[in-house]
Each structure stands twice: as C-alpha cells, then as structure tokens.
Amino acid sequence: MDTTTSMSIAADPPAGASILQKVWAFLGTCALGILLLASFNIDLPHRQWWLYGSLTLLTAGIIGYTFEAYKNKPPGIKNDGVWHSSLTNGGLLGWLLGVAITFFYVILYFYPQYLGLGSDGNNSGLVAFFDPLSRLLSGNPASQWFVYGTLYTLGILAFGIKFLWKYRHNRYEKLRTLSVMFFQTAFAFLIPEFMARLNTDDFSLPYYDLKNIWPLNYYNFEQWRIDQFITAGDIGLALLIFGVVSIFIITPVLTYYYGKRWYCSWVCGCGGLAETVGDPFRQLSDKSVFAWKVERWVVHSVLVFSVLMTTAVVHSYLGYDAQKYWLNKDVFLIAVALFLTVLFAAIWKFKKEELQKDARYGAIGYLAVILGLIGIHYLSGSNVFLFQAETLRSTYGFLIGAVFSGVIGTGFYPIFGNRVWCRFGCPMAAILGLQQRLFSRFRITTNGGQCISCGNCSTYCEMGIDVRAYAQKGENIVRASCVGCGVCSAVCPRGVLKLENGPLEGRINSEAVLTGNDLDLLDLIKEEKTWKN
Amino acid sequence: MKHIVIIGNGIAGITAARHIRKLSDHRITVISSETDYFFSRTALMYVYMGHMKFEHTQPYENSFWKKNRIELLNDRVEKIDPGKRALDLRKSGTFTFDTLIIATGSKPNMFGWPGQDLKGVQGLYSKQDLDLLETHAPDNQTCKRAVIVGGGLIGIELAEMLSSRNIPVTFLVRESGFWNNVLPEGESNMITRHIREHHIDLRLDTSLKEILSDSQGKVRAVVTDTGEEIPADLCGITAGVRPNIDFLQGSGIETDRGILVNDRLETNIPGIYAIGDCAQLRAPKKGRRPIEAVWYAGRMMGETLAYHLCKKPTTYNPGPWFNSAKFFDIEYQTYGLVAPETSENEQHLYWEDIKAKRAVNIAYDPESELFLGINTLGLRLSHRHFDQWLREKASVAVVLSNLEQAGFDPEFYPDFIREIKTQLTQLLKTT
C-alpha cells in the first residue's frame, strides 16, 4: 500500500512533480542554501541584496510550487496522496524534516551564538546577515529572535498564500487565513519593530506583541516588564492595562460569542504557523481516547503551573507593607485565591451537569492551585525549591516556553501533527477551552442522518478530536480543544458539519437521535435514553 | 440470554449489534470474511486516493468490541441449516445460533460480458476489491489507461480515484447523460460537464461489448458497442450492485433478487432476519424500492431490528427518503423524491449557477402544490428541516418561504439561498 512515495509537501499525486514544480523547488532550495552559506560566515558582497533576494526567492519558490500543484485542478479538496507521501504520512522524510527543525530550535533557544549572535550588535553569520532588514525596521541590529521572527512571518505569509489557493472554494478558510497572516505581519512582526523606533535614551517601550495574551505570553507580568511599562509613562501604563483587560474582558467576551477559534485560528501566532506551515501535517494528530486523556492531564497541568508561576513571580516583587502601596504581597495572594474560588464556585453552581464527569479533575486542579498559593505565602524567600519564584520562572521558561512550545511544538510537526503545542501545552488554549466547553455559543452542528462515518473529519482534525464519533450519532461537537479551524466541515463529503454560534440551550445534545428513521422508533430511542438517566 | 449471530460486519450488521448490546445482554457474534473490524465502505475510495489510511475508515477503536462484548469472528459462512439452527463455517465448521441476522450486503453486477473474468476486470465494493485495485492500478506506469463501465455513483468514484493517480480514464455510460436515470437534466448536465472538466474521457450513449485478453489472461482492451477498441490495463465494472446471497441456495430461506423480508425484517423462517443491501422488502412503502442499497437504509434497518428483538415488535418504517454523494468536487444532497422527468403529477423548479457549480431542483405536485422533494448540487441544506416539511406534507410555497432556515453551508459562504428563493418563487408564480 505505502510503497509509492513522493517528496511533495503540497500533497500531489504520487505520479510526481512537474518540471515547473521542480524548478520552483530548486529556486526555494537555492534560497535556503544562501541562508546556510550566510550561517557559515561566507562573506557576500552587497549583503542586503543577498538577504532580500534569498527571502524573495524562498517565498516565490513556495508559492510557485503550490500554484503549479493546484493550477490544473478545479477548486475543491486537495488531499490526494497525503498518506502516500513519506513527508506527510509520518515516514522517513517526515522524521528527517522533524529532526532538522528540532535541531534549528535547539540552536535558536539554547545556542544562539552559533547563529552568529554577538554582544552589543557585533553579530556574525546568519544574525548579521539579517542586520540590514532589522536596521531598516527598528534601527537596531538583528538578534536571533529577529531572524526567527522574519522567517516565521514569511512562513505564515508564503504558506498562507498556499493555503488560500488550496481552499479557494471555501470562504471561511480564506478569511481566517487572511486574518492570521495579518495579525502575524502587523502585530507580531512590524508593530513591535516600529515601537522600538520610538525609544529614546529616557523613554523605552517594552517589546510587545499586543495579541500575545497571558498565559501564552507568560512573561508579561514579570518584574522587568512591569518596570518597563511603568517607566514608559502613560503609553506604558496603557499597554499594561491592555494586557490585563485582554485577559479579563476581551478574551471572555469574544470566546463567549465565537468560541476559542477567534483566537486560536484567527489571531494567534502559534495557531497561525500551525494552520499554514503546519497544514500539510494536520492529519498526523493522534485520535485515540488515550491521547485525549493525556491531553487533558497535561494541558491543565501546564495551566496550573503557569498560574502558580505568575502568581509567585508577581508576589516576589510586591512589597510587604500595605501602607506604602495598596497592592502588597498578602493582598495579591488573597485576591488571586478569592478570584479562583469565586470562579470555581460559580462553575460548580451553574454548570454542574456539564461538569459531572470532569468535576473531580476540576477540583483537583483548584486544590493544587490553592495549596500552591499557601506554599508561596509561607515558603517564599525560603529555599524550598518549588516555591522559589525565580526557580519556578526559569523552570517554566525552559520547560514550557522553550522546550514544549518551540522544540516539541514546532519541531515535531511532521511527526505528531501541527497542533501538539496547542493541544497538549498551551495554557491559553486550556483557559479558552474551559470557557468554550462551559460558557460559549460556539458548537459544530451535524446534519441529521447524513453522516456516512467515512472518517475524513477525524483524520484531518489537527486537535485529534474524533469528530466522526459525534457526527455519526447526530450529536453536536462541543469540545474544549476545538480551535474552530473548519477543516472537518470542509473535507466532509456529505455536507454534515457546520461551525455555528447559537443559543446555549440544547448546545450539548448527547440525547440526539438521527433524523430519517421511523418516528415511533425515535420515540422509543428517546424513551430508552431517559431510562438510563 | 440468546445467542444472536450476525453475518456481515457492514453498517447494517454492526448497527444491529451495537443496539442489541445497548438494549440487552444477549450473546452477540458477528461473522465476516472481509475484514476483522467494521469499516466505512463508502470511504474506501479515500484510502486509494491517499486521503486516509485504511484504519481511519474504522469508526471504533479495536478495543471497543471486546469492551462491549461483541464477539468478532473472521470466517466465511458456506451454508445455513435453519432446521438445526446452525451455520457451516469455512474455518471453524459448525456454529450454532438462536437468532440469525443476515447482513451480507451486495456484490457488483456482471452481465455476462465476454472477458469479464479476465485479470484486471473488477468492481469496487469490498476491501478485497480495493486491494485488487492496488495490484491492477497502482500508478500510471502499470495502468496506462482504465476503462470504467457503468455511470452510477461507484463509477464516478472510481473515475475520481484513478485520476487522483494521473491514470487516464475512459468512462462508458449507457445513458445520454451522467446518472440521468436518477437525476433530472439540469443536474445531470452539470455533473457531466464537471466529469469532463476533470479530464475524464466520458463516452455517453456507449456500452460495453467485449473485453479483450492479452496472452497472460489479462485485460488488453475494451470493445464498445460502436465497435471501437480502447486499449486498457484495467476495466472497472460499476453497473450497479445486487444482493450477495448465493450462499443461501438450498437453505429454504426464500429469496428473489434479495432475501425476502416482511416489514419486521423477518424472512420466511422464524428467528432468521435480513437487513441492509441484501434484504428485499415484500411490501415496500409507496414510492420506495424493495431493495435500497444505501448506507442509511442499512443503518436504519439495523437499529429497527435491534429494537424489534430486544424491546417490542417494531416495524421497519423509514422516514422520508434522503441521500447524498459527492461527484468529484460537487456535493449532492437529496431530500424526498425528485423524478428524473417531470410529469403531470410533478413539476420542477430549477435554479443553477453554472460558474459556481451550484444547482437546486425542487419537485412539487402542481395540483395540490405539495412539496415532493429537492436536489442540491454544491450547496448544503439541513436534513432536519426537510424531514419535517416532508413529514408534515408542507406545500412548495411554505418550503420556499422558509428556505433560508434550511441553509447548512459554512459561515461566510455567499448567500445563494436568498437568490434561489426569489427566483424560484417567481418561477412558481408564472407556472
């Protein structure tokens, strides 16, 4: 079965790539070659033109290749050969690519000197190669993060265009892809660079990607950030307030109306990369019930970890004395505990039915946080490893911020699928997911009895949701992890799935019966279901 | 506790098994020689096309069956002895039952064409057919051209499958338009154009005369009724299916084209039932066929029979007809009955957008203005709404005026429904 293989990332038939496709692939590879040469400090004359040239060529190669792949095919689903290609079926090429990306991330996060990062802007290698572009945008020399940010943004743009072309028959997919392309380019890439231009000797704005919300942006309330915000006067304070407002007002309101998709597949940068560069690998997510169990434990543990870490960090720089400033250590801890207690009690009271099964886990999570808070109170300043704010912060930054979201989250795209981080690791996704499950108008509805259990929806769900298990029973899909990418609905050959926002009543309908059967039988089934309860 | 044995692990047999388990404590055994586990037959095409792996077509994890105490037996039933309540299995010999459910599905029609037994001639129904296709047509080097005979749903699927591997396809269709013995002219024409847009060499009004062999007993060419000889390495026979019931000969179970059953899905022998593609209703409901070889009918029969066996006598009484398919990139849905031709009892209101490849056809009775059914191409409509309108015997005017409620296209799709509603309401007034 799997003897035929192709190298194509655009999932064309095993028959192989056309000549023009090979030309585009060659040009793209040349661009990567130039970047590689630059990494080894090869001195190129007119460096900026080599830089702009290679970036343009890389983008053109990706776009040209996919245009060739799809140009002779009418609009429609383009999944031919996905499982025949060793790049996209978790085969050898996929593993090689995974190892290569992982290698890049390890260097990026832990050994930036090998990319050429020097002190005080004395860069060499790849980082120096990107200096001209960085100076053009912010006026400063490049860093490894600038190199990464540029390649990241180009990836989202080039593969975004590929995705737009692949799904040109589907307006939902097009709009949300344009949205992530915009937010990445403007909010994550350009605006922070331009903000750096406003900096003077006595005025400095923190580097701030406005759409990057805590706890995804886990360092937003660390002392150096808060200091930067406060010293930057009114603008800094406004940014700080925006950071808080986006957690407590913007996020819950938008998630109530549209589900977590407004963030995860329309705005977020991690989601943006997953949906564009990562799209060829979405089918590799694990759909087993076991994976679902692991997912819930891991992602909610990360959430608990991030809440505790942030609380400990903020606690560590607040003062003891309530006379000097109203927000002191104790007030802060009590406020956090109170907020979480009210939240947990409210969920318990109003959403008891939905929670029945998960209540125990929720209680465990809540208990863990409270015990943690008590620990912070009594043990801060002591040498107990776990509750030292700095240890907690650096452990979180290393394990979650670098290893999980970067190395595993992106490096393993070709092995575990494109949403490993979003599914198993992202604390922001965990919060949004809890709200989506309990208090949101979003759901995926199914179309009566039309499901034929084919499995396209489940296969192409990047979050590993077994969509078919619901669709074939006529149930709505209301899952915490669903990022609302809409691909299940797009690949469904029988028009069964629809992403919708609607009233909360009847949203979770595990009592559903399939339309099309005999009315008496439907009554019998309903009767049967009530007996069970 | 009875021992209920089910022959066949397709959608009918498995639905029956699952619901019997939900409703009772009976011992359940499902026998199949096709595969170890239930899979979605309609999804086989996607395995060949590389959209899915075969295991993705299996809706339940392998541990599901043991957990739910549904015993699976990979074996083939050679004979049934109703008197002894026993089956003769190829591998395990005699196997007894208290209640027997026959759900053996269909097999491809073969009409005695010369050369139909050659290597490289095959239908597309079972997992084995899929494996055979991988042997005969793995790529366009081994299979330089394929000829498909018979213009129905499986024929067009096979054409799509082969063209996904860049294998040139000649598609012989006996009718004057694709599937126009089911689809009215407008829809049939749209699909016919779309088939050609996918570079399929579609030959209408053409049928198969003979399949020619090479020296190794393999397909070399196909001869059409116009006398043309088309070189081919594969000949796909997709001229419909018929019940897979040959093994019942001499068992005393009454058959016609299928296994004859009453509206409780009982055969002539007490305790033996037949469901799904292989069952033939002695008295089908008005407007319905005695054999309905579709996924949905199999599923509904399986569910009905489970209630009949475990709860109380229940008759098979399917709701309004519905079906769906996908022709290359164009989705098709139908609710109620739309005849291919209009008549004095049935008028059609047809709307199409040729460029967007979307069409809607509404059938109604001009006398009573009763809504009869709707076909859609490239447009998704809600099953629940149409099921309700058909059950309530709504008028065509009611359906048209509420049409926007029944939209099921993804968000942000262009709003065709308003346009359809305006145009068809206008059309209704003028006719």
Chain A positions touching B11 (Cβ under 8 A) are 453
> Helix or strand or coil: residue A60?
helix
In a domain, B278, yes or no: yes
B141 touches chain A (CB under 8 A): no
Whether residue A229 is found in the same domain as residue A291: yes
Kindly tell me the sign of the dihedral angle through the C-alpha atoms of A444, A450, A455, A460: negative
Best of A454, A459, A488, A525 to disrupt the B interface (most B CBs within 10 Å) is A454
pLDDT tens profile A446-503 = 999 999 999 999 999 999 999 999 999 999 999 999 999 999 999 999 999 999 999 9
C-alpha B307/C-alpha B19 separation (Å) is 8
**How far apart are the two ends of chain A, measured CA to CA in Å?**
46
Q: Which amino acid is at A406?
A: G
pLDDT band at A9 (very low <50, low <70, confident <90, very high): very low
User: Which of A177, A200, A223 is a domain's end point?
Assistant: A200
Could you tell me how far CA A50 lies from the centroid of its own chain? 32
Do A3 and B138 lie within an 8 Å CB cutoff?
yes
User: Which of B239, B259, B276 is a domain's end point?
Assistant: B239
CATH of the domain at A524: 3.30.70.20
In a domain, B113, yes or no: no
pLDDT band at A391 (very low <50, low <70, confident <90, very high): confident
At residue A1, does pLDDT exceed 70? no
Whether residue B305 is found in the same domain as residue B334: no
B383 touches chain A (CB under 8 A): yes
User: Which of B252, B285, B310 is a domain's end point?
Assistant: B310
Whether residue A5 is found in the same domain as residue A137: yes
What is the radius of gyration, based on Cα positions, of chain A? Answer: 25
Whether residue B216 is found in the same domain as residue B247: no
Whether residue B234 is found in the same domain as residue B248: no
Separation in Å, CA of A458 to nearest CA in chain B: 8
Whether residue B248 is found in the same domain as residue B280: yes
Whether residue A65 is found in the same domain as residue A157: yes
B414 touches chain A (CB under 8 A): yes
Neighbouring residues of A224: CB distance < 8 A, sequence distance ≥ 6: none
Whether residue A137 is found in the same domain as residue A269: no
User: Which of A436, A464, A487 is a domain's end point?
Assistant: A436
Instruction: Give chain A's domain count.
Output: 3
Q: Which domain holds residue A409?
A: 205-436
Whether residue A58 is found in the same domain as residue A154: yes
Whether residue A190 is found in the same domain as residue A53: yes
In a domain, B417, yes or no: yes
Whether residue B225 is found in the same domain as residue B126: yes
pLDDT tens profile A173-204 = 999 999 999 999 999 999 888 888 877 777 77
pLDDT tens profile A500-521 = 999 988 888 777 778 777 767 7
CATH of the domain at B150: 3.50.50.60
Whether residue B209 is found in the same domain as residue B292: no
Residue carrying structure tokens 């395990």: B92
In a domain, B315, yes or no: no
pLDDT tens profile A315-359 = 888 877 666 677 788 888 888 888 888 888 888 777 776 666 666
Rounded to an integer, the average pLDDT of A135-164 is 93
In a domain, B112, yes or no: no
B82 touches chain A (CB under 8 A): no
Chain B positions touching A472 (Cβ under 8 A) are 59
Which of residues A258 and A128 earns the better pLDDT score?
Answer: A258
Q: How many CB atoms lie within 10 A of CB A111?
A: 11
Those of residues 451-480 in A touching chain B at CB distance below 8 A are 452-456, 458-459, 468-469, 472
Chain A positions touching B132 (Cβ under 8 A) are none
User: Which of B282, B310, B338 is a domain's end point?
Assistant: B310
Could you tell me how far CA B282 lies from the centroid of its own chain? 20
Do A521 and B382 lie within an 8 Å CB cutoff?
no
Q: Which domain holds residue B246?
A: 3-107+242-310
Instruction: Give chain B's domain count.
Output: 3
Whether residue B362 is found in the same domain as residue B383: yes
pLDDT band at A61 (very low <50, low <70, confident <90, very high): very high
Nearest to B383 among A15, A516, A528 (CB): A516
In a domain, B114, yes or no: no
Whether residue A302 is found in the same domain as residue A422: yes
B55 touches chain A (CB under 8 A): no
Whether residue B98 is found in the same domain as residue B129: no
From residue B305, give the alpha-carbon distance in Å to each of A58, B4, B272, B274, B309. 61, 12, 11, 9, 6
Whether residue A283 is found in the same domain as residue A191: no
Nearest to B164 among A13, A172, A447 (CB): A13
Those of residues 147-206 in B touching chain A at CB distance below 8 A are 164-166, 194, 197-198
Whether residue B285 is found in the same domain as residue B220: no
Whether residue B227 is found in the same domain as residue B262: no
Whether residue B137 is found in the same domain as residue B209: yes
C-alpha A468/C-alpha A457 separation (Å) is 6
C-alpha A130/C-alpha A195 separation (Å) is 19
Whether residue A378 is found in the same domain as residue A449: no
Whether residue B218 is found in the same domain as residue B145: yes
Residues in chain B: 431
pLDDT tens profile A71-113 = 888 999 999 999 999 999 999 999 999 999 999 999 999 999 8
Do A516 and B329 lie within an 8 Å CB cutoff?
no
CATH of the domain at B389: 3.30.390.30
Rounded to an integer, the average pLDDT of A104-126 is 87
In a domain, B316, yes or no: no
Do B57 and A455 lie within an 8 Å CB cutoff?
yes
Mean pLDDT by 10 residues, chain B (431 residues): 96 97 96 98 97 97 96 97 96 97 96 96 97 97 97 95 97 96 97 96 97 96 97 97 96 97 96 98 93 95 95 91 96 97 96 95 96 97 95 96 94 91 92 78
Instruction: Give whichever of A17-31, A271-285, A380-394 has the largest mean pLDDT.
Output: A271-285
Do B322 and A450 lie within an 8 Å CB cutoff?
yes
Best of A287, A452, A500 to disrupt the B interface (most B CBs within 10 Å) is A452
User: Which of A409, A436, A463 is a domain's end point?
Assistant: A436
Whether residue A389 is found in the same domain as residue A446: no
Do B387 and A515 lie within an 8 Å CB cutoff?
yes
Separation in Å, CA of A209 to nearest CA in chain B: 28
A447 touches chain B (CB under 8 A): yes
Q: Partners of B373 in the beta sheet? A: B336, B363
* Average model confidence (pLDDT) across chain A: 86
Whether residue A141 is found in the same domain as residue A182: yes
Neighbouring residues of B362: CB distance < 8 A, sequence distance ≥ 6: B338, B348, B349, B350, B371, B373, B374, B396, B399, B400, B424
